[in-house]
Amino acid sequence: MATLTTGERLDEEGNPIPGTGFEYESDGEVAELLAQRISPVLYSPAQGEWVWMVPDESNGEFERIIAVCPTGNNGPILHYHPIFDEHFKPASGSWILEADGEEVTLEAGEELLVKRGTVHTFRCVGEEGDFGVMVADIIPPVGFVDVTKFMMGLAQEGRLTSTGDPKLLQLMVSMRGWQTKLGIKLIDVGIPKSPGKTMITILSGILAPLGRLLGYKADYPHTQEDEFWEKHVNQPPK
């Protein structure tokens, strides 16, 4: 058994930047999940987390996402998904999930189903420097990895705020014009609790034209390409 490192940011010459990846055991569950991946390993420098997709084994009933998060990460802002459920099952680490104002602690092997429309967030807790691994099923599939590539791609290019959220005008433009390969619009994938869908719809109608005038685009297609991620993130061997 050996301890390996992957997911490091790459410098301009394509060399891994020390201290920017995560460690895993060569014969452990994370190694197996990495070997199964059907997408590149994605990384957000704004949020400090890695994500990839593995086969769902469900005949298309859901899509399975793997997330590696450091302890101390605040997790996403409170949000909800209007058209899909999310099933959380930690593979390692301790996690706190907040759903409808109530906090639940999940350990490896435990699970929780968050129904569509439920305001929630999650974070990994534990000793400083540790990482947790979460297996999340999106039910039904919506092209969630497309969303993740888009959002983390914005982070790679410095288009997010320091908290890992899209800048206001970027969000307004993309909410109206971006969609997954399955045709799902961004506003139907995830909505912040505040300001909520109604206010976002109103604001995007007002601010999206301004954002486009200032050069913001609804989509950055290059962030969907494997080559983009292979250029920015050190990929584990298959």
Asked, for residue 237, whether it belongs to a domain, the answer is no
Contact 68, 7 (CB under 8 A): yes
Q: What's the predicted TM-score (pTM) here?
A: 0.93
Asked, for residue 169, whether it belongs to a domain, the answer is yes
Asked, for residue 227, whether it belongs to a domain, the answer is yes
Asked, for residue 44, whether it belongs to a domain, the answer is yes
The CB density around residue 18, as the number of other CB atoms within 10 Å, is 9
Asked, for residue 238, whether it belongs to a domain, the answer is no
Asked, for residue 205, whether it belongs to a domain, the answer is yes
Q: How many angstroms separate the CA atoms of 58 and 6, rounded?
A: 28
DSSP 8-state symbol, 208: H
Q: How many angstroms separate the CA atoms of 173 and 154, rounded?
A: 13
Contact 49, 68 (CB under 8 A): yes
Question: What's the confidence (pLDDT) of residue 136?
Answer: 97
pLDDT averaged per 10 residues in sequence order, the chain, 238 residues = 94 95 94 96 92 90 96 89 97 96 95 97 90 96 95 91 82 91 92 90 93 95 97 93
Contact 219, 174 (CB under 8 A): yes
Asked, for residue 56, whether it belongs to a domain, the answer is yes
Question: What's the confidence (pLDDT) of residue 153?
Answer: 95
Cβ-in-10-Å burial (0-12, 13-18, 19+) of 96 comes to: middle
Which CATH number goes with the domain that contains 52? 2.60.120.10
Q: How many domains does the chain have?
A: 1
Question: What's the confidence (pLDDT) of residue 126?
Answer: 87
Structural domain containing residue 133:
3-232
Name, in order, each residue with C-beta under 8 angstroms of 52's C-beta and a sequence gap of 6 or more. 33, 34, 37, 39, 40, 41, 42, 65, 66, 145
Question: What's the confidence (pLDDT) of residue 159?
Answer: 86
Token reading at 156: 């790679």
Q: Which residue has the tokens 């298959």?
A: 238
User: What is the three-class DSSP state of 62?
Assistant: coil
Asked, for residue 57, whether it belongs to a domain, the answer is yes
Indicate the angle between helix axes 196-213 and 168-177, nearest 10 degrees. 100
